[in-house]
């Protein structure tokens, strides 16, 4: 597994690391485990020094906040956990800021709700904010916006949230750090015959059936939510690893081959995204392009507004559209960076004119090549 581990972790261009509450917050005292966080910051800095982009999805707000509000250790009512999250999140963000600042890294806090990852316009906004932060060199530290999420419309666990984030930014590796070192055929705490599974390539019903209930008292995730995360990650072409975070510098430990369960997708994030664009979307309109643009697209370029001669349909930004040649023959399909109304205003124009025409700066490409599939 050592090679698999190295390739998965050290070769990832974009890495999402999910930290469970039980690692960050001491279950007895309810205090932040600063030494552990400092060591993790060292791992993150090492990844950044290798040229990798890192996003952190961190739990722990509720676990940290409850002590400060003097809430009992039993289960919390929704409004109590929301109050605890409000108090804990500020401390959590501050702790990351301090720990990463020692390595010269800036931190950006992002609080997401279920709607931000499930509704297209919100999703696109969150995605471009995250991409911008990464481009500018900050480490996004993400959590669910627990203070406003109601029970019907919340993730509740950060395993699935982290997988959605990985999908959103086309990450190629998702690390779930928790208090268990991977997936077993049964709960190893209660069943001595439980067998450890180092590598999974497909989520069969047998694998799904192996997930038990969570054991830790602090976080919300158990094996069920971890396998739900694996389903999202594999579908997005992202490798996922479940590993124990209880050691110091857990990312280094995984890269050196520590025991962990790897989930290996069939496709890369780019291919998975393209398959999704090619297969599952109903085009909401079409763009007709000139002969020069057809040649450029076939040569692997993005579609620029200058090459577009007609826009049909009433699509919104991020919708799938058909791309056709001057004779109406399909060339491919892709996700349009502009809604139909704006697309009509900028078609045939140079990218440098977009800001003046629309009144706000926009993307240079009508369809970026990563969002485009040529027939």
Min separation Cβ 154 and ligand GLU, Å: 9
Q: Which of residues 336-355 bind ligand GLU (CB under 6 A)?
A: none
Give me Rg for the CA atoms of the chain: 22
Nearer to ligand GLU, 154 or 239 (CB): 154
Min separation Cβ 40 and ligand GLU, Å: 16
Min separation Cβ 20 and ligand GLU, Å: 6
H-helix segments, 136-178: 158-168
Convert residues 28-67 into a mask of x (bound to ligand GLU by CB under 6 A) and - (unbound). -------------------------------xxxxx----
Question: What is the spatial distance between Cα 149 and Cα 155, in angstroms, rounded to a whole number?
Answer: 9
User: What H or E segment, with its residue span, contains residue 312?
Assistant: strand 308-313
Among 205-213, 216-224, 310-318, 366-374, which window interacts with ligand GLU (CB under 6 A)? 216-224
Nearer to ligand GLU, 144 or 342 (CB): 144
The strands making up 320-324's β-sheet, listed across from edge to edge, are 308-313, 285-289, 320-324, 330-335, 372-374
Q: Centre a 10 Å sphere on the Cβ of residue 113 and count the other Cβ atoms it contains.
A: 20
Q: Which of residues 66-85 bind ligand GLU (CB under 6 A)?
A: 85
Q: Among 8, 140, 219, 250, indicate the residue that binds ligand GLU (CB under 6 A).
A: 219
Nearer to ligand GLU, 219 or 305 (CB): 219
Question: What is the spatial distance between Cα 118 and Cα 123, in angstroms, rounded to a whole number?
Answer: 7
Q: Is 285 one of the binding residues for ligand GLU (CB under 6 A)?
A: no
Q: Which of residues 5-24 bind ligand GLU (CB under 6 A)?
A: 21
Q: Which of residues 136-155 bind ligand GLU (CB under 6 A)?
A: 143-144, 146
CA distances from residue 285 to 274, 316, 346 in whole angstroms, order as listed? 18, 9, 16
Q: In this structure, what token pair is assigned to residue 106?
A: 């800036």
Nearer to ligand GLU, 52 or 143 (CB): 143
Q: In this structure, what token pair is assigned to residue 217?
A: 């008292």
Nearer to ligand GLU, 156 or 283 (CB): 156
Question: What is the spatial distance between Cα 86 and Cα 35, in angstroms, rounded to a whole number?
Answer: 24
Among 177-185, 215-223, 279-287, 305-313, which window interacts with ligand GLU (CB under 6 A)? 215-223
Measured at the CA of 9, the angle between CA 16 and CA 259, to 5 degrees, comes to: 105
Nearer to ligand GLU, 56 or 311 (CB): 56
CA distances from residue 297 to 188, 307, 368 in whole angstroms, order as listed? 53, 10, 10
Question: What is the spatial distance between Cα 351 and Cα 354, in angstroms, rounded to a whole number?
Answer: 5
Residues that bind ligand GLU (CB under 6 A): 21, 59-63, 85, 143-144, 146, 157-158, 219-221
């Amino acid at each position: 597994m050592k090679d698999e581990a190295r390739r998965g972790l050290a070769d990832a261009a974009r890495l999402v690391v999910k930290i469970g509450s039980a690692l960050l917050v001491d279950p007895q005292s309810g205090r932040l485990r600063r030494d552990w966080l400092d060591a993790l910051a060292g791992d993150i800095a090492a990844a950044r020094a290798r040229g990798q982009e890192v996003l952190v999805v961190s739990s722990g707000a509720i676990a940290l906040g409850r002590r400060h509000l003097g809430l009992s250790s039993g289960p919390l009512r929704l409004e109590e956990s929301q109050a605890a999250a409000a108090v804990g999140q500020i401390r959590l963000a501050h702790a990351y800021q301090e720990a990463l600042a020692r390595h010269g890294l800036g931190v950006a806090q992002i609080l997401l709700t279920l709607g931000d990852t499930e509704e297209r316009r919100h999703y696109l906004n969150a995605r471009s904010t995250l991409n911008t932060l990464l481009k500018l060199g900050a480490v996004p530290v993400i959590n669910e916006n627990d203070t406003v999420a109601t029970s019907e419309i919340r993730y509740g666990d950060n395993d699935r949230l982290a997988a959605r984030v990985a999908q959103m930014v086309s990450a190629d590796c998702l690390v779930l750090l928790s208090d268990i070192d991977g997936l077993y055929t049964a709960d190893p705490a209660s069943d001595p015959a439980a067998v450890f599974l180092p590598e999974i390539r497909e989520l069969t019903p047998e694998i799904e059936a192996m997930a038990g209930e969570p054991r830790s008292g602090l976080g919300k995730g158990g094996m069920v939510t971890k396998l739900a995360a694996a389903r999202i990650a594999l579908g997005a072409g992202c490798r996922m690893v479940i590993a124990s975070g209880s050691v110091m510098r857990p990312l280094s430990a995984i890269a050196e081959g520590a025991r962990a369960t790897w989930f290996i997708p069939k496709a890369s994030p780019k291919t998975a995204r393209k398959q999704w664009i090619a297969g599952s979307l109903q085009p909401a309109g079409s763009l007709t392009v000139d002969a020069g643009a057809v040649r450029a697209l076939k040569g692997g370029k993005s579609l620029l507004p200058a090459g577009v001669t007609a826009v049909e349909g009433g699509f919104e930004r991020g919708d799938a559209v058909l791309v056709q040649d001057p004779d109406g023959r399909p060339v491919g399909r892709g996700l349009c960076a502009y809604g139909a109304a704006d697309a009509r205003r900028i078609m045939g124009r140079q990218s440098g004119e977009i800001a003046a025409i629309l009144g706000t700066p926009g993307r240079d490409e009508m369809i970026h090549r990563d969002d485009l599939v040529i027939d």
